[in-house]
């Protein structure tokens, strides 16, 4: 079962601060089970990320998850830019590894233009992963922009 963080928040109106969250009986058990399911899913995400053999693999997955929020078509260069990596060669091993392990799908439109997507179908935990990353993770590109903005302030 793939669990969604957003659905969980909405289902119990957790972000509604005008309403009291009151859970009784079966509903409380259900809430607890779903909450535990989210934690378990996060634990599996940790396990998956820490076992990716390619050095940049985890970063590529995070960048891809983040970009899926704003872009409909994502290619390798978008990920390179988001991770602030100077050369695409540094990421090629990661793309190959992630594709081989079914973490991502690569659609080759032309010899140079490859569209990349997170493989949520085979990895249901990626739904929660994507939601968390899109909500809380700051990419190196964004961090760099933030740092440069601060530096340029008098």
Partner 1 sequence: MKKQKKAFPGLNFENEENSFKSIEVIQKEFFRKTVKTVLYILILLAIYIIYSLITIRPELFENTFIRLINHSYFSNLTIEWILFSTTTFLFVYFLKITYLKYTPSLISFIKYESKNLGFDFKKEFNSGQIFLLLNSISISILIYIDLGWIKFEDTLGSGFFIFTFSALFYDKFIIQLKDDFYILFNFHFKIGKPKKDGSNLVGIRLTSNRLSPKNDKCGRIVHSKIAKRRWLSRRKISKFNPYLHFYEFSTPLNFQKQFLNIVLALTEWQNYYGSRILCFDARIPLNKIESKDNFLDYFQFFSNFK
Rounded to the nearest 10 degrees, how much is the dihedral formed by the CA atoms of 63, 65, 69, 75?
A: 60
Residue 57 and residue 98 in contact, taking contact as beta carbons nearer than 8 Å: yes
Minimum distance, C-beta of residue 144 to partner 1, in the bound complex (Å): 6
Residue 36's SS3 state is helix
DSSP lists the bridge partners of residue 115 as 75, 107
Minimum distance, C-beta of residue 25 to partner 1, in the bound complex (Å): 30
Nearer to partner 1, 98 or 125 (CB): 98
DSSP lists the bridge partners of residue 75 as 115
CA 56 to centroid of chain Cα atoms:
15
Nearer to partner 1, 16 or 33 (CB): 16
Q: Angle at which helices 57-70 and 25-50 pack, to 10 degrees? A: 130
Nearer to partner 1, 14 or 29 (CB): 14
Minimum distance, C-beta of residue 143 to partner 1, in the bound complex (Å): 4
Nearer to partner 1, 1 or 53 (CB): 53
Q: Given the rule CB under 8 A, which residues bind partner 1? A: 55-56, 84, 86-87, 89-90, 93, 140, 143-144, 146-148, 150-151
Minimum distance, C-beta of residue 120 to partner 1, in the bound complex (Å): 26
């Amino acid at each position: 079962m793939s669990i969604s963080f957003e659905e969980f928040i909405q289902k119990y109106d957790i972000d509604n601060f005008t309403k009291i969250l009151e859970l009784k009986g079966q509903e409380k058990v259900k809430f607890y089970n779903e909450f535990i399911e989210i934690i378990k899913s996060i634990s599996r995400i940790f396990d998956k990320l820490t076992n990716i053999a390619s050095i940049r693999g985890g970063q590529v997955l995070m960048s891809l998850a983040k970009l899926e929020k704003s872009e409909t078509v994502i290619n390798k260069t978008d990920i390179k830019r988001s991770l602030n990596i100077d050369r695409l060669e540094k990421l090629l091993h990661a793309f190959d590894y992630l594709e081989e392990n079914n973490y991502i799908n690569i659609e080759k439109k032309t010899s140079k233009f490859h569209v990349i997507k997170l493989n949520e179908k085979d990895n249901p935990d990626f739904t929660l992963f994507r939601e968390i990353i899109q909500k809380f993770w700051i990419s190196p590109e964004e961090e760099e922009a933030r740092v440069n903005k601060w530096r340029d302030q008098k």
